Amino acid sequence: MKRNQVNILLAIVLILAAATLRIVNRELHLYNLAPIGAVGIFAGSVIKDKRMAYLMPLFSMFIADLYFQFFTSVTGFYGVEQVLVYAAMAAVTFLGSKMGNITPAKVVGYSLTGSVLFFIVSNFGSYLNGWYGYDLKGLMTTYTVAIPFFKNTIVSELIGSVALFGLYSLGQRAFAPKLQQA
């Protein structure tokens, strides 16, 4: 199997796994416990074709949103603030593309930074929705009520990143000689 075929297969598996985890965790009321940001960090740092890198986490989110919209009582497409959620994920992928040499410390650091970036941008979209008002108090309330979800985001991104980068490293060691021969 050629490296490009492996990358495409990897992309498909990651997209489906991330979308599935997002759906299952939402159905179990485990909010923000899906490592889609980890997929963004991973794709940005590992996938050479940057179009594919950005599409992986965004398509994972889109598939899950389609499922929510058409097969559950959860609204999959919920308004203009969702644009900032997708923009936040693109920003996390961009962050991953700047990682350079992959080390365990960088994986943890970029995962934490990506979680914070996603939290700030996506919750600003919630603020723009105006649920808590459009003043400074409303902004602070928006971020304060999101803190429990942020804890889940950090946990899922750290576990997801360690799993993705770890499995990728193991796969590289196992299949790299075979890929070079193909």
Between CA 90 and CA 30 the distance in angstroms is 23
Tell me the average pLDDT across 73-100. Answer: 93
Q: What does the DSSP 8-state code read for residue 143?
A: H
Distances in Å between the Cα of 149 and the Cα atoms of 13, 42, 94, 101, 156 are 26, 22, 23, 30, 11
Tell me the average pLDDT across 51-70. Answer: 92
pLDDT bucket at 25, cuts 50 / 70 / 90: confident
Amino acid at 31: Y
pLDDT at 62 over 90: yes
Between CA 124 and CA 122 the distance in angstroms is 5
Contact (Cβ atoms closer than 8 angstroms) between residue 96 and residue 114:
yes
pLDDT bucket at 21, cuts 50 / 70 / 90: confident
pLDDT of residue 3: 66
Walk me through the domains of the chain, giving residue ranges and CATH numbers: 3-181 (1.10.1760)
pLDDT at 70 over 90: yes
Q: What does the DSSP 8-state code read for residue 133?
A: -
Between CA 18 and CA 40 the distance in angstroms is 10
pLDDT at 106 over 60: yes
In this structure, the number of other CB atoms found within 10 A of the CB of residue 53 comes to: 24
Between CA 90 and CA 56 the distance in angstroms is 10
Tell me the average pLDDT across 78-105. Answer: 94
Q: Which of 127, 126, 124, 105 is nearest to 116 (CA)?
A: 124
pLDDT of residue 176: 64
Contact (Cβ atoms closer than 8 angstroms) between residue 96 and residue 115:
no
pTM: 0.87
pLDDT of residue 123: 94
